[in-house]
Amino acid sequence: MTGLRLNADMGESFGPWAMGMDESVMPMVDLANVACGFHASDQDHMRRTVQLAVNHGVTIGAHPAYPDLMGFGRRSMACSADEIENLVLYQIGALSAFCRAAGTDVRYVKPHGALYNDMMKNHDILAAVMRAVKAFDPGLALMVLSTRDNHPVRSLAAAHGIPLWLEAFADRVYDDDGHLLSRREPGAVHGKPEAIIEQARRIARGETLTTSGGGALVLEADTLCVHGDNPESIGAIRRIRDAIHPPAP
C-alpha cells in the first residue's frame, strides 16, 4: 500500500476570497495540484502555494481548467480542440514560471473539474490535453481518472508519448462504468469520515468498491485524491495517510 501517493487541490483562493486549508493539508500530502488562474487562484496565491509546497517537499502539478472563475471550473465550455490545447499549455506555463522562481519544476498535470470530466468522456478533448502536455514537456505525467477499463486511455497516452498517473477518489461514489457519479446526484460524495477512510483503504489494497448501481468495481491507482476544505476533512486526511502509509515499527 505504500506506493499510493496522496494528492490534493491547492491554491484555489482568489484575491480576498479564501478556499481550502492549504497550510494544514500541505504537510500531509505527496502531490499538490496547484490552480493556475482559470477556475481559481491568481498570481499571488500561485506563488505562495508553490513556496508552501517547496517548504514541505511536496511535488507540484499544474491544475488547469476551463476559463470559468464564476463557475469554479465546474461548467463544461464549448472550446475547440485547439483552444483546449492552448489554454492548458498557457496555464502550465504560468505555474512553471513560479516554480522556476522557487527553484523547482512542474512535474505533472491534473485537469480540474469539468475539463477533467469532459476529457475522460471525449477522447478528442483528452488528445488535446495530451498535446499540450507533450508540447510543454513530454516527461510530464498526466493524471487521469482510473475507471473500469483504462486500456483506451493508456493507448492514447502511449501514442502521444507521455506517462500516465491513474487517480482514484476516497470521497466520491463511482457509477457502474467506473466514472465519478455527478455531484448533481444525491449521495455522490461520501459525507462520513469513516466511509471515506474505508474507501481509501480498499483502493489502496486493490479491493472491491460498490458502485452507485450496486455493482463491483476494482480500481488501479497510482494516486488518491483527498479534499481538505474543513476541519473534518483534515482529520480524515491524517487518518487516510496513516492507513495507507503506516509508520515504520
pLDDT for 189 equals 86
Q: In this structure, which CATH number among 3.20.20.370, 3.20.20.70, 3.40.50.920, 3.40.1190.20 belongs to the domain 5-171+220-234?
A: 3.20.20.370
pLDDT for 249 equals 54
Quick one: how far is CA 188 from the chain centroid? Answer: 17
pLDDT for 229 equals 66
Nearest to 55 by CA among 12, 23, 19: 23
pLDDT for 1 equals 41
pLDDT for 227 equals 79
CB 113 within 8 A of CB 72: yes
Phi, psi (degrees; rounded to nearest 5) at 163? -80, 155
CB 66 within 8 A of CB 75: yes
pLDDT for 248 equals 55
Phi, psi (degrees; rounded to nearest 5) at 201? -60, -45
pLDDT for 236 equals 82
Predicted structure pTM score: 0.93
CB 241 within 8 A of CB 7: no
Across the chain, which has 249 residues, the per-10-residue mean pLDDT values are 83 90 94 97 97 98 97 95 98 98 98 96 97 98 96 97 96 91 85 86 94 94 84 79 71
